[in-house]
Amino acid sequence: MLQMRVVGNLGAQLRNILDGEVTTMSRGLRRAVDRTATAVHTDLRGQVTGAGLGAGLAAAWRKQVYPGTPRRTLRPAGLVWSKATALHEAFERGAVVLPRRGSFLLIPSKAAEALGADVVSTTVSRKGGSIPGNARRRRSSLEEAARKLGVPIVSARPGNAIRKAGDPSARSRGYILLTPTRASQSRLVALYFASRGAKPVLLFTLVRQTRVPRRLDIAGAASRAQATLASNVSSALAAGG
């Protein structure tokens, strides 16, 4: 009977020891995965801001570690994902951007930004439907720019792909002139004349298409994470708990 009690006590102690080891390992593994996922998250957000693509697109990178505390596991997982997949992928591989509506893409100038005529806010998606959650996106619109500036749009040539608006007689009070560039008849510029005789201000360059250069290295961030995960695991387990 004495032997059975000793074995029973040793069994309880062993279970407590093993349970503590599992808890320690679980915490260490989760910490290692969290550290690695955070590094990837920071890397990708830094790439976006470093490329000058704006804080909004950087914030579209999100991170989550599973399972949440205090649950224990020896197989934690870290997920870094994008809420703007199409944009992030386009800037990773480079892409040709074509207009979805009309014949031209509008590229606003610094002057258009200064005049507040560069973009408008809309709830309509690029595909023509409503944006979920009443979210809004920004887009350029020549007609809206003319409305904001209170001037008509006048075409330098008849029958071009952009609708003519306004009356040439209104040029005395200011207008936006659409005209081909000297380099290419397929590229237009929108010049703003505040009044008759005023110097023209470039508002928009209108192009049939444009190429988005490769600015992000998402695959590189993932590769770097794989290279550091083992090191993070070893460090976290060595630190204990």
**pLDDT (tens digit per residue) in 70-123:** 788 888 999 999 999 988 998 998 877 777 666 788 888 888 888 887 665 555
Average pLDDT over residues 203-231: 87
- Is 105:209 a contact under the CB 8 Å cutoff? yes
Q: Which residues contact 74 (CB under 8 A, 6 or more apart)?
A: 22, 25, 26, 29
For residue 63, what pLDDT is reported? Answer: 95
At residue 232 the predicted structure's pLDDT band, cuts being 50, 70 and 90, is: confident
For residue 37, what pLDDT is reported? Answer: 93
Tell whether the model's pLDDT for residue 16 goes beyond 70. no
The span from the CA of 120 to the CA of 99, in Å, is 16
Encoded tokens for 150: 């209170």
Tell whether the model's pLDDT for residue 11 goes beyond 70. no
**pLDDT (tens digit per residue) in 164-200:** 444 555 445 788 888 887 766 668 888 999 887 788 8
Q: Which residues pair with 61 in a beta bridge?
A: 82
At residue 12 the predicted structure's pLDDT band, cuts being 50, 70 and 90, is: low
Place of tokens 């952009």: 162
The span from the CA of 125 to the CA of 137, in Å, is 7
Most confident of 48-57, 105-114, 207-216: 48-57
Question: Where are the domains positioned within the chain?
Answer: 2-93+214-239, 99-208
∠ CA 197-199-202, nearest 5°, is 135
Helices (H) and strands (E) in the chain, counts: 6, 11
The span from the CA of 101 to the CA of 103, in Å, is 7
Collapsed DSSP state (helix, strand, coil) of residue 235: helix
Q: What is the pTM of this model?
A: 0.57
